[in-house]
Structure 1
């Protein structure tokens, strides 16, 4: 009997090319999308820079490039410059910061998360003048979620930051730290038209020169704050924003502040606000362990040894006349030689006793401590009964 089995049907060859063709089309579409997104980076960046410029913050980029194909966008800005105009009370002249490179990274599938890296060093200068300050770090990075229309969270981190004053070839240290972090976010349930900002500042191994002897010694800080009174997050000059805060009755709540400097530990909480003159008013309730470590740094003994100039004395004991003190010390020395010097040398102990008398006994982290207020009155800072600083107006 002849073989009647039918010959196998041949499948069309074009079916073999369906998947490769689809992959090719998808790759082409993805590439078109990536290059479109890359072209939009410049448009969006220019629009953002234009909005910021209206608020007195001018951002410039010597050379801008986009890379990262196929799954992310890497925007690199070489020779970056930021000019700040009218960002502080009474300052109209531009102040320019300049650094070598900023790189911003965004994943295509997560466009609302931006990560930026900063290349050190940066220089700060007045317009038309050589750099007056130099800022350095080993790692500088920031992240933002929700930019630009729905800001939710932002962070910036620096490892080993330093600030030096530049005077020709001489660089003088102004500030140092081993690590600094600043985190901010919209408070849960906060309305967009009246946002409430929660922020945390952490400093490890920090010191600041030329401000106050207390800050010149290494310290660690962990400060949590809550800011109310904002109308929006639109770009605007800082003095204008501070006026807006003051008019709305806004304030900064120091939820918790902990500062440690050797054996000294200080915690504080309270509220600060701005008065109509742009100066800080408010009060923080402080608890300090090791307060005797701070008193010598206030310089009471040195002030007395130098003859107590009235301007200097006003900083630490307003209302006391220097001539009265000088006459008193002179009379003591005439009555009993050397007695005036002894009184001067024991001035810090007297101030410590005075603060202890005003404060209350407390315990902090298992150590004996004193509790008392740190007051801000029209920008003047009072540590117990002592005037220890002056904060300039913010608008």
Structure 2
């Protein structure tokens, strides 16, 4: 065998080892990169927690681990907890505990982060010391744009429920088949004054213990725009609301639709904040089925049992409960049964009064009324009737 033949054979055998060696080098390099990036993910999480703590939102994990090699990053937080301090006008603490949070990011798309939440969550109100339990069958969120300013975010819960603990008994407060909240920076909005577009959808929602009307299942779809933000720096919510008010910011309800059985309500308008942190603004509403809603409010029963002053202060400021009850008594003495007739027809009178507020219209092929729902320094006004009071946001 010639020397040339022997040399060619050696070169061919060396060629067999080149690909595996290169693959091994690439694997070692990739492993080094993954473990370095995983450690940096922990550093970034700690930095984010430190920023949030300065804003009064203290996050913690009883145990944190990183996995997902080789193409994903999976950060698992077991025994998660958050303490919210200075996040409302009363600056009272609010704590929440969660079994587990799993955060997943792909190596090839690190700006997109997905999280899954394990139920249940326990909430404790620092003022009343009431304890609430939140449950769901599936909870997840998605954020795009990290670690810089998020471009869009979503959070979805299937079969969520909210209960209040009364000793060892769970008292139902709210239920839904599905809740979705989506938000994104509006296209073309300036970086120093971003406009946020949001969508809130509730499927088969219900609220117990407040009013029988709210206990019946309803569907809700609300789309809004928020202006007045200057940045996304972590800060307490009262401070954020003050900045929005000072900048003349507002929430524009672009479209809102709520349906409960035969009753349908749509609304649009703009809400802002007064100097003392209360809602100001007006929504234009169109409602079908008012004739069903008014009797369900129980006004007739309220009048038969006597009208508490607190109720009158809410629905008719300035009117005295004793004066009203004396009026019905005087009517009965003058014309026996007259006061009772008026009481029994109270619902019809209130309905007529509300019908006089707005104008006739049509909504989705049904007869409806269109009228303004006003917010004046926190007071909620349906025409001349005060129907609620919203506490200050700071």
TM-score over 0.5 (shorter chain): yes
Q: Which residue of 1 is the match for residue 115 of structure 2?
A: 116
Q: Which moved more, 1:14-23 or 1:95-104?
A: 14-23
CA distance in 2, matches of 1:216, 1:189: 41
Q: Using a 3 Å threshold, how does the CA distance of structure 1 residues 120 and 28 change in structure 2: closer, same or farther?
A: same
3-state DSSP class of the match of 2:182? strand
3-state DSSP class of the match of 2:9? coil
Q: How does 1:358-377 map to 2 (within 5 A)?
A: 358-377=357-376
Q: Which residue of 2 is the match for residue 107 of structure 1?
A: 106
Q: Which residue of 1 is the match for residue 194 of structure 2?
A: 195
Shift of 1:381: 0.7
Find out whether 1:219 has 2:187 as its counterpart.
Answer: no
Shift of 1:130: 7.0
Aligned residues: 390
CA distance in 1, matches of 2:321, 2:128: 41
3-state DSSP class of the match of 1:392? coil
TM-score, length-scaled by structure 1: 0.95
Q: Using a 3 Å threshold, how does the CA distance of structure 1 residues 286 and 20 change in structure 2: closer, same or farther?
A: same
Shift of 1:383: 2.1
Q: Which residue of 1 is the match for residue 49 of structure 2?
A: 49
TM-score, length-scaled by structure 2: 0.95
CA distance in 2, matches of 1:87, 1:131: 18
Find out whether 1:25 has 2:53 as its counterpart.
Answer: no
CA distance in 1, matches of 2:130, 2:355: 46
Q: Which residue of 1 is the match for residue 68 of structure 2?
A: 68
Q: Which moved more, 1:328-337 or 1:184-193?
A: 328-337
Q: Which residue of 1 is the match for residue 321 of structure 2?
A: 322
Shift of 1:333: 2.1
3-state DSSP class of the match of 1:257? strand
CA distance in 2, matches of 1:64, 1:128: 30
Shift of 1:211: 4.1
Over residues 335-364 of structure 1, what are the superposed CA-to-partner deviations in whole Å (9 max), with x where a residue is unaligned? 343332221121111111111112100000
3-state DSSP class of the match of 1:155? strand
Find out whether 1:58 has 2:58 as its counterpart.
Answer: yes
Q: How does 1:174-253 map to 2 (within 5 A)?
A: 174-253=173-252
CA distance in 2, matches of 1:215, 1:349: 21
Shift of 1:297: 3.5
Contact 1:123 1:131 in 2 (8 A): no
Q: Which moved more, 1:341-350 or 1:150-159?
A: 341-350
3-state DSSP class of the match of 2:62? strand
Over residues 94-153 of structure 1, what are the superposed CA-to-partner deviations in whole Å (9 max), with x where a residue is unaligned? 211001000000000000000000000000114699761111000100000012312100
Shift of 1:319: 3.2
Shift of 1:385: 2.8
Q: Which moved more, 1:201-210 or 1:277-286?
A: 201-210
How big is the alpha-carbon RMSD for the aligned residues of Structure 1 and Structure 2?
A: 1.8
Q: Which residue of 2 is the match for residue 36 of structure 1?
A: 36
Q: Using a 3 Å threshold, how does the CA distance of structure 1 residues 131 and 326 change in structure 2: closer, same or farther?
A: closer
Contact 1:100 1:122 in 2 (8 A): yes
Shift of 1:212: 4.5
Q: Using a 3 Å threshold, how does the CA distance of structure 1 residues 328 and 7 change in structure 2: closer, same or farther?
A: closer
Shift of 1:213: 4.5
Q: Which residue of 1 is the match for residue 15 of structure 2?
A: 15
CA distance in 1, matches of 2:27, 2:305: 79
Q: Which residue of 1 is the match for residue 260 of structure 2?
A: 261
Contact 1:298 1:388 in 2 (8 A): no
Q: Which runs of 5+ in 1 are unaligned?
A: none
CA distance in 2, matches of 1:230, 1:153: 16
CA distance in 2, matches of 1:337, 1:244: 60
CA distance in 1, matches of 2:209, 2:272: 26
CA distance in 2, matches of 1:170, 1:137: 18
Find out whether 1:78 has 2:67 as its counterpart.
Answer: no
Shift of 1:309: 1.9
